[in-house]
Each structure stands twice: as C-alpha cells, then as structure tokens.
Amino acid sequence: MSKKLNICEIFGPTIQGEGAMMGRPTLFVRTGGCDYRCSWCDTMYAVDPKHSDQWQRMTTEEVMAEIERLSDQTPMHVTLSGGNPAMQPLEDLIDLGHSKGYQFALETQGSLARDWFKKLDQLTLSPKGPSAGVKTDWDVLDACVDLVEPYKQASMKVVIFDDADYAFAQKVQNRYPQLPLYLQAGNHMVDSNAPADIPGVLDRLRWLAEKVASDRWQSACVLPQLHVLAWGNMRGA
Amino acid sequence: MSKKLNICEIFGPTIQGEGAMMGRPTLFVRTGGCDYRCSWCDTMYAVDPKHSDQWQRMTTEEVMAEIERLSDQTPMHVTLSGGNPAMQPLEDLIDLGHSKGYQFALETQGSLARDWFKKLDQLTLSPKGPSAGVKTDWDVLDACVDLVEPYKQASMKVVIFDDADYAFAQKVQNRYPQLPLYLQAGNHMVDSNAPADIPGVLDRLRWLAEKVASDRWQSACVLPQLHVLAWGNMRGA
Ligand code: SF4
Ligand code: SF4
C-alpha cells in the first residue's frame, strides 16, 4: 500500500506557461499544501488548508491512472507543481511514470531538499524575492542545488515585481552561476475569479525587458507567463 | 577595402522576442533586401526597395563600430536579421565580432545556403507556411540544414496563422526531426504606424497552444512574440 499524496488538481494536456519548458505540452499534477505564504501567490487554493476540502488523498497508483487517462495512455511530459510538491512523497510516482515512459518536471521554491529530486527530468527552483514577504533559507537552497549539480536540466526562476526582486535575482545568479536563470515578470492580479490585468502584466514585462537589456545582463532570460496571456487567471489551463 | 553591406537599422540592446533565444539581451543588425514577399511580413521597411533610401551602404568595420558603440565596447550577443541577411556578405562581420568576443545569431527563411552559416553561434531557419504566399525551395532548405547539422544551436521556427500553416510545420518537423521546432503565433496587424492588436494576437496564441496541447505534439514549442507584447509594432524595439 503506497503512501497517500495530497492532490489539489490534475489537468491537461496543456502548454507549460513558464520557465525553461515554456511552450511545451505537459500535464499538471498540482499538490496541496505549502510551507510558504507568498503575498502574490497565484495558487492559494493549493496552499491554504482552508481549501483542503477540495484536495484529495490519492495513492501513487490512483494519480498515475489519472495521468494515463488524461494522456490517452500515451507517454508524455508531466509537471509536478503546487503548493510545494516537495512536501509530498512523489518518488514512487516518478519511478512508476518513468517505467511507463512518462517524463517529470518539478517546480518548488527550494525550501525542502529531497534526495529524489535527482530522478526528475527537469527541476525548477523558484526562490522568492522580497516582494513575496517570505524568507529564503539559503542553506536549504544550496542543498537543493547540490542535489542537481551534475544534472543538466535544472534552472532557477525568480518572479520580479520591483527593483528589490531584481537585486534578489542578481544574488541568485551570483550564488548559482552554473544554473540558467529565468526572470518572470510578476502577475499582480491573481484572483482566479477575476480577469487578469493583461495591460498591467505587459507593462511589467516591458519594464523588466528594458531593465535587463540596458544592464546587458547576458545570462538572464526574461519571460512572461504564457498561460496568463492565453487564458488569464483561469484555473486548470 | 571590405565589401559593403546593405543595412536597414542597427539597434539595441533589447530583448530577443522570438524563438530559441527568447528573453535574452541582444543587439539587432537588420539588413535591407529580401528575396521573399510574405503577405504578413512585419519588416517590409527592410524588404521593399522603395524603402531603400532609408538603408545605408556600410562597411564591415562601420557596422562593427556601431555594434561596439551601442554595447559600450562590452562584448554581447548580436542578432543578424532582415529582410534576408543571407543576401549580405556577413562572414567578415562575424569573424571580426568573434575576434572581439561578440556572439552572433542569424535568422533567415533558408532560401540561400551560405557556407559561413557554420560560423554562427545560433541559426534560426524560418521557412514560410502557405499563409505567407511564398514557395519553399526544399532543396535549398535541406542544404542550409546540412550546413548546420553537426551544430547544436540551430532551430526551425514556423509562424502559424491557420491549419494549413500548422500542417506545414508538421512537415518541417518530419523532414528535420533533428532540429528543435518553435511554433510562433502569427501577428496579423503588422503596420508599424498602427497599434498591435494584442487581444487578437493572444487569441491566436490560445488557439495554437490548445491545438498543440490536444495533439500532444511533444517536440513542438509554442511561443508568442515577446517584443510585440511588450512594445507593440514599434520599430527598433
Ligand atoms: S511557494 Fe509557491 S505555492 Fe507556496 S505560497 Fe509561494 S507562490 Fe504560493
Ligand atoms: S522572408 Fe521575412 S523579411 Fe522576407 S518578406 Fe518574408 S517575413 Fe519579410
């Protein structure tokens, strides 16, 4: 009997909207629960236990069955997200999925270092800048990076709202020069019941692009959130 | 005395808005002249000889001096674009820039195969689908691909407006499975004197993303044009 996983939602196929895998087809497994409370969190329904009545306790086999159903039994790419998916025992799911030909990416803030990160096909570490109002434990983030050091498909992603976040991202770059760094223009309107402020989002994208360009920060990569542009704040897209 | 180059504009630093290098700081050297006349060309001012009074005949050394001025003499990434930059003798510029530490990407439709493509740091081949109203010479495109075959940083980019373009992109993928393929949602409003139709552009992005996701076309990558989102149709951004 495998351990139960806290699952908020499983959906797709859709397109990855962020970071290194932007634009590529994937399924999403969103776990419930997070050790952070970021001020601009866009998935509070997967964070705050007050929404936990909408989460399900599922076995590895049940999650895999749903992945196979959504993908018509044809192996494809799966993104493990949250909340903080590092809080869930996902190693068995990765092993089971791999045995069936599926690939797995995981995105986490890097507040919990799990040995099984080594098994992932892609890992995105997304430490949170000052605007999030949470504190980065650099030692744990170091431990996450140490796990993936020999591993080529790991990257850092920092959401940028302001100059303080930008300085934070520069610190991340200096500390982990070996990892590609994605700078994501922040979305300030994250209510999934309200329309996204697309002009506002694009204003921030322009501001960030102009800043990186004029600084000629050659190793940075400025990206929007493709899913917010295409589908707004709609859940499950 | 080096050969003269037809130069439409040199600008930056800005952020690359398309394809494999999306989001990264770069300078643009846009050459004048093109052997195609795509219906939806967004740089007709670099294509139609009626604009050639705005182009300049410049030596390699003059272009390099402008690149160095714009980059404050600090080596950075340069994108050679057009028009069709393959019509210009750019080999000396690439050699001279490399000797000073600059990197060069080039984007062309692949209608002219140049031996010096081998010297590029990145090459984007962007054959045009049916909506462009031009004809792809597959033998020449094959020759371009043969030049870059051992070279890792080459990719294909196809602009998609409709189902026929999508089918064309699938043909490109099947013919050149070794090259990463970027599917770019088309921009139907390309008048640089009129505002871009951002909602329309985002509608096409959503349509394309949903199509690729439901087809689970795993090797495709759906991207918007970041510069159109950030700056609209403004020239020199
Ligand atoms: S770490 Fe992520 S999921 Fe958790 S609160 Fe912050 S933004 Fe939300
Ligand atoms: S190949 Fe490019 S520059 Fe030439 S006409 Fe077509 S879109 Fe315009």
pLDDT digits (tens, 9 = 90+) for B13-56: 999 999 999 999 999 999 999 999 999 999 999 999 999 999 99
DSSP state of B158: E
Structure tokens given for A181: 């760094």
Nearest to A160 by CA among A149, A173, A144, A141: A173
Which position has the higher pLDDT, B182 or B234?
A: B182
pLDDT at A192: 67
Q: Which residues fall within 8 angstroms of residue B83, CB to CB, at 6 or more apart?
A: B6, B8, B30, B31, B32, B33, B34, B43, B46, B47
pLDDT at B151: 62
The count of residues in chain B is: 237
**What are the beta bridge partners of residue B9?**
B30
Lowest mean pLDDT among A20-34, A157-171, A222-236: A222-236
At B102-158, the pLDDT tens digits run: 999 999 999 999 999 999 999 999 999 999 999 999 999 999 999 886 666 899 999
What does the alpha-carbon distance between residue A123 and residue A116 come to, in Å, rounded to a whole number? 11
What 3-state DSSP class applies to B81?
Answer: strand
Q: Which CATH class is domain B4-231?
A: alpha beta
End-to-end CA distance of chain B: 32
User: Mean of the pLDDT values across residues B92-105?
Assistant: 98
Q: Is A108 in the pocket of ligand 1 (CB under 6 A)?
A: no
At A14-23, the pLDDT tens digits run: 999 999 999 9
Q: What angle do CA B78, B71, A165 make, to 5 degrees?
A: 95
What does the alpha-carbon distance between residue A171 and residue A185 come to, in Å, rounded to a whole number? 17
pLDDT at B192: 67
Query: Please, how many CA atoms are within 13 Å of residue A188, restricted to the half-sphere of its CB?
Result: 13
Pairing of strands B4-15, B25-31: antiparallel
Query: Which runs of consecutive H residues, i.e. helices, occur in A38-109?
Result: 60-70, 91-99
* Ligand 2 midpoint to CA B82 (Å): 7
**How many other CB atoms are there within 10 angstroms of residue B59's CB atom?**
15
pLDDT at B189: 74
Most informative mutation of B42, B109, B225 for ligand 2 (most atoms within 8 A of CB)? B109
Which range, A1-5, A230-234, B21-25, is most confident? B21-25
User: Mean of the pLDDT values across residues A17-44?
Assistant: 96
**pTM for the complete prediction?**
0.93
Of B71, B183, B229, the CB nearest to A216: B71
Within 8 A of A182 by CB-CB distance, chain B residues are 23
